[in-house]
């Protein structure tokens, strides 16, 4: 297990967002030890606005110590406006091997549910089975862009091993929770040559699949056929989801008119 070594206080926590997972979101950690090299959009933004100076600093998470107090103050104001509160947009609520962050996330979700608000959760860590005891309206998701563990070690160096991620999600599904998988940012064949159908089959138990392309990467623009590639992937995802009766969402910009 890893210890949190940095703490910060914030003045506000819940905010409105345009992401498709929830109409409101909260980020109770600054930074993320998963250190994804896709690259991570949150890291690029935090670096650009001077919130972190380096990749090493980004990978050293700072926990917002007044998270629960902020929720107590803000939930009464927001609870009638929020349809789904998403954890998290610029960090990971179940950061791998950080017990203290995971415990704070569970306490936060409990508090949010007690205010009558449901949560959506997205992680590249391990979703604890304790989540199955919380509101069954919550939706629990993991990101999987490949089944290749050596690729995962290279591109998501601090995140949980893929099979562990998958089996935790499967356990929640088995316990009657709503589950979903984000296959995003999906890599092009010049980054890793792999079979999308194998990725889809591995998550066939989940209730919903989100698929999206890789952005902000030089490797993508150097792959000349990327538009056709993503159009073909989208077709395969939609066919798979329709065949297995799954809800799906294709992220904006993934399909291109050629």
The residue ranges that bind ligand SF4 (CB under 6 A) are 32, 34-36, 40, 42-43, 91-92, 124
Nearer to ligand SF4, 90 or 254 (CB): 90
Nearer to ligand SF4, 6 or 225 (CB): 6
Q: Taking the complex as a whole, how short is the minimal distance between the CB of residue 83 and ligand SF4, in angstroms?
A: 23
DSSP assignment of the chain equals: -----EEE--S---EE---TT-SEE---EES-TT--TTT-HHHHHHHHTTS-SSHHHHTS-EEETTHHHHHHHHHHHHTTT-SEEEE-SSS-TT-TT-HHHHHHHHHHHHHHHHTT-EEEEEESS---GGGGGS-TT-EEEEE-S-S-HHHHHHHSTTSPPHHHHHHHHHHHHHTT-EEEEEEEEEPPTTT----HHHHHHHTTTSSEEEEEE--S-HHHHTSTTHHHHHHHHHHHHHHHHHHTT-EEEEPTTSS---
Nearer to ligand SF4, 32 or 134 (CB): 32
Q: Taking the complex as a whole, how short is the minimal distance between the CB of residue 172 and ligand SF4, in angstroms?
A: 19
Q: Taking the complex as a whole, how short is the minimal distance between the CB of residue 124 and ligand SF4, in angstroms?
A: 5
Nearer to ligand SF4, 139 or 184 (CB): 184
Nearer to ligand SF4, 88 or 172 (CB): 88
Q: Taking the complex as a whole, how short is the minimal distance between the CB of residue 228 and ligand SF4, in angstroms?
A: 26
Q: Taking the complex as a whole, how short is the minimal distance between the CB of residue 40 and ligand SF4, in angstroms?
A: 3
Nearer to ligand SF4, 75 or 143 (CB): 143
Q: Taking the complex as a whole, how short is the minimal distance between the CB of residue 202 and ligand SF4, in angstroms?
A: 19
- CA-to-CA dists, residue 235 to 87, 191, 197, 223, angstroms: 29, 21, 11, 19
Residue with tokens 């896709």: 38
Nearer to ligand SF4, 59 or 238 (CB): 59
Q: Taking the complex as a whole, how short is the minimal distance between the CB of residue 45 and ligand SF4, in angstroms?
A: 10
């Amino acid at each position: 297990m890893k210890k949190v070594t940095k703490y910060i206080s914030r003045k506000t926590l819940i905010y409105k967002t345009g992401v498709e997972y929830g109409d409101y979101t909260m980020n109770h950690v600054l930074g993320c030890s998963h250190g994804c090299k896709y690259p991570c959009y949150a890291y690029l933004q935090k670096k650009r606005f001077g919130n972190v100076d380096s990749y090493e600093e980004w990978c050293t998470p700072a926990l917002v110590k007044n998270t629960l107090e902020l929720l107590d103050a803000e939930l009464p104001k927001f609870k009638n406006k929020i349809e789904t509160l998403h954890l998290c947009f610029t960090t990971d609520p179940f950061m791998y091997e950080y017990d203290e962050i995971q415990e704070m996330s569970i306490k936060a979700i409990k508090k949010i549910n007690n205010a009558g608000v449901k949560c959506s959760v997205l992680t590249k860590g391990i979703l604890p089975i304790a989540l199955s005891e919380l509101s069954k309206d919550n939706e629990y998701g993991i990101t999987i862009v490949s089944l290749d563990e050596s690729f995962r070690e290279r591109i998501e160096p601090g995140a949980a091993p893929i099979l562990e991620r998958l089996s935790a999600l499967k356990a929640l599904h088995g316990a009657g929770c709503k589950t979903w998988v984000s296959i995003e940012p999906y890599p092009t064949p010049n980054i890793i040559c792999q079979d999308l159908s194998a990725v889809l089959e591995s998550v066939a138990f989940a209730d919903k699949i989100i698929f999206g392309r890789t952005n902000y990467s030089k490797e993508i623009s150097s792959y000349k056929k990327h538009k056709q590639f993503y159009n073909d992937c989208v077709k395969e995802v939609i066919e798979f989801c329709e065949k297995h009766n799954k809800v799906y969402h294709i992220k904006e910009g993934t399909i291109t008119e050629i």
